Amino acid sequence: MRIVVLVSGAGSNLQAVIDAVQSGDLPVEIAAVGADRPGTLGLERSAAAGLETFVVNFRDYATRADWDAALLTAVAAYEPDYVVSSGFMRIVAPGFIDAFPGRYVNTHPALLPSFPGAHGVRDALAYGVKVTGCTVHFADAGVDTGPIIAQAPVAVLDDDTEDTLHERIKVAERALLIEVLGKLAAGSVL
Ligand code: GRF
């Protein structure tokens, strides 16, 4: 199973996937790692792991449609079986979803459909939920919408800050993402 991973930031979830692949625990080939901006730790991690990387810099395109088209072209060139959005902070266009039907997987640090969007951890904490968690789902062109593949709960502690809670969620998120990718590779996700 060939995947292209899309990242915007630190790429700690990506690193967990890289480690699982390199240790032989995850029978997946990371064809490339793509980003919407240059100079991120996620890209550095990928290069350090010897992976191919590409950047489709949002700021380099005059229109959103131009960027959408460039992202699709760049990803499709690797002919991935699945595209994984791992901390990729852009919503892709409907045309991207059409090009990879049921093959675009996203991770989100909350129990969807609660708390979608860029601040899922902060929003859950502000609401006062006692349990939050993470979701891996097939993404559509909405904001963190699409069929859920798997979820894991994480308890909110009384003294949690957004950072401490997010760090615990990411531990669960990494394990969940690797588990889901393993199942996709084995063909055991409907
Ligand atoms: C993850 O929690 C992801 O779900 C969210 O941002 C975090 C990415 O962290 N959108 P990293 O880049 O993998 O360290």
Q: Residue 129: what are its φ and ψ, rounded to 5°?
A: -65, 150
Distance 37 CA to ligand 1 centre (A): 15
pLDDT of residue 190: 63
Mutate to test the pocket of ligand 1, among 12, 86, 108, 111 (most ligand atoms within 8 A of CB): 86
pTM of the predicted model, to two decimals?
0.95
- pLDDT(73) > 90: yes
Share of the chain above pLDDT 70, in %: 99
Distance CA 2, CA 165 (A): 32
- pLDDT(78) > 90: yes
Domains annotated on the chain, with CATH: 2-186 (3.40.50.170)
Taking CA atoms only, the protein residue closest to ligand 1 atom 5 is 87
Distance 43 CA to ligand 1 centre (A): 14
- Interhelix angle 12-22/162-186, rounded to 10 degrees, is 40
Ligand 1 site, residue 12, Cβ cutoff 6 A: yes
Please compute the mean of the pLDDT values over residues 116-136 and round it to a whole number. Answer: 98
Ligand 1 site, residue 11, Cβ cutoff 6 A: yes
CA nearest 4: which of 45, 46, 44, 41? 46
Mean pLDDT of all residues in the chain?
96
The ligand 1 atom at the shortest distance from the C-alpha of residue 10 is 12
Residue with tokens 């640090």: 109
Ligand 1 site, residue 109, Cβ cutoff 6 A: yes
Q: Decide the pairing of beta strands 104-108 and 131-138.
A: antiparallel
pLDDT of residue 141: 87
